[in-house]
Amino acid sequence: MTQALQDVVDQLGGLDPRLAGLALLLHVTNHLLRSVAWRNVLAAAYPERRLRLLPVASAYATGVALNAVVPARGGDAAKVALARGVIPGSNVATIASTVSILALFDMVMATVLVVIVASAGLVPIQLPSLAAWPYVLAGAVVLGFAGRVVARRARERVRALWSRLRQGGAILRTPARYLRRVALVQSAAWACRVGVVMCLLAGFGLPASVPIAAVVMILCGASTLVPLTPGGAGTQQVMVALALSQTASAAAVVSFSVGMQAGVTAVNALLGLAGAMAAFRTLRPLAAMRGALAAARA
């Protein structure tokens, strides 16, 4: 065993179990809060249906777990399919739109955090040059024009699809309700996620602060946007290593990154398995896994 690998193993073995336990509690709470937020968005889209939290939480947990092992974010497809199964008369476009409502808040929150942290110089990170913005705007104009041409040629289909998408975003038409039942809940979930990273940073003996934890969390999320590998494995380690290169040794950073991804993936897998068993109403784990994978491929 090389010295570098031995250093990584030593770092993993030195994790404080108390901080690991607190991180576990915060992670499970994050799952629950995000499930509550999604349930509230779905309830606004289908006000005539009475939606219980357990089926929605089961669908959410199953989808998150599958995203760690199925490439191209197949877990999101399973999440939508399972939610559709518990809402009679629902459709894929509307449910996918409800998922996008949550993703939109995440995107805004991540952007705000990155801008605040980078502008304050709290973490060494470089924002895109202002010279690139004209190209970004030009690209947006081109895409908008192309979208308009396509919409004209398929007007009826677009109208039907738009109607379903608007149904999924129904909660946005009542801003006070959205802020209270979605944005506030998601904000609490984000606080839990930052808390998980802070606990693990401290547990591995790394500098633990809100700015550093926020940047690490955002980079870990960004590593899964382009699904080159399941769960962003490998990509996540590189991005975290770059973010923390000036604050800790390479062995400490790699140990933290590997330990965090392995731990989060394991917890997500257990929650997803429990969710799948609840969704398919079976006590047989293998049957639940087969059903979840089938939903991901549907």
Q: Each residue of 38-82: pLDDT tens digit?
A: 999 999 999 998 899 999 999 999 999 988 777 656 788 889 999
Read off the amino acid at residue 93. A
Tell me, what's the pLDDT at 263? 86
Q: Which of 214, 166, 187, 169 is nearest to 34 (CA)?
A: 187
DSSP assignments along 112-174, one per residue: HHHHHHHHHTSS---PPPGGGHHHHHHHHHHHHHHHHHHHHHTHHHHHHHHHHHHHHTGGGGS
Q: What's the pLDDT score for residue 147? A: 58
Q: How high is the pLDDT of residue 237?
A: 59
Match 């947006």 to its residue by tokens: 140
Instruction: State the pLDDT at residue 27.
Output: 96
- Burial group, residue 110, by CB count within 10 angstroms (0-12, 13-18, 19+): middle
> Which residues of the chain are modeled with pLDDT < 50?
1, 3-5, 8, 126-128, 130, 136, 156, 158, 226, 228-229
- What pLDDT does 218 receive? 75
Count the Cβ atoms, other than its own, within 10 Å of residue 2: 7
Domain limits, the chain: 3-297
The pLDDT of residue 144 is 61
Show Cβ contacts of residue 252 under 8 Å, excluding neighbours closer than 6 positions. 11, 204, 205, 206
User: What is the structure's pLDDT at 127?
Assistant: 47
Residues 212 and 244 sit within 8 Å (Cβ to Cβ): yes
